[in-house]
Amino acid sequence: MKLHELKPAAGSIKTNKRLGRGAGSGMGGTSTRGHKGAKSRSGYKSKRGFEGGQMPLQRRIPKFGFKNPFKVEYKPINLDTIAEMAEQFSVQVIDMAFLQQHGFAAKKDLIKVLGRGELKAKLSVTAHAFSKSAKEAIEKSGGTATTL
């Protein structure tokens, strides 16, 4: 085997149909476009979702519900996770910078601390929102819950 003898496998390469090249091409006349109608003309382009005039799918399916454009989405972090973080990294202050640095939150995330789990250490926690039970638990353990 030499470099100039390399060929693709037999039958793996097909030649393209040469459309609009007259009767001798075997696809003369209409050039495989059928007869008349918009699709047979040059420059044909249909709209997105156009189904030939039948009622399109996006209009057939019923619409319901409401998406509030002003909804504020928080990323939840529970007290047990915070307690684990404080123990693992031996810190007393947990704020946005700490959460971003250790991959618990992205830069644009809004953090809400929720009350699952127990807190034994005295921690200073800073977040965008706190549940009532989380705030009570943090203050009960002698720490502070600061809202951004």
Asked if residue 29 is part of any domain, the answer here is no
Asked if residue 42 is part of any domain, the answer here is no
Q: Residue 130: name the closest of 74, 87, 70 by CA.
A: 74
Position 6 scores a pLDDT of 95
Position 147 scores a pLDDT of 92
Which residues form the domain of 91? Answer: 75-147
Position 129 scores a pLDDT of 94
Residue 70 in tokens: 């002003």
Position 22 scores a pLDDT of 86
Asked if residue 104 is part of any domain, the answer here is yes
Asked if residue 138 is part of any domain, the answer here is yes
Asked if residue 141 is part of any domain, the answer here is yes
Which CATH number characterizes residue 91's domain?
3.100.10.10
Residue 101 in tokens: 């640095």
Asked if residue 79 is part of any domain, the answer here is yes
8 Å CB contact between 123 and 93? yes
Asked if residue 123 is part of any domain, the answer here is yes
Report the percentage of the chain scoring pLDDT > 90: 44
Q: Within the chain, which residues score under 50 in pLDDT?
A: none
CA distance linking residue 86 with residue 107, whole number of Å: 20
Asked if residue 107 is part of any domain, the answer here is yes
Number of domains in the chain: 1
The reported pTM is 0.57
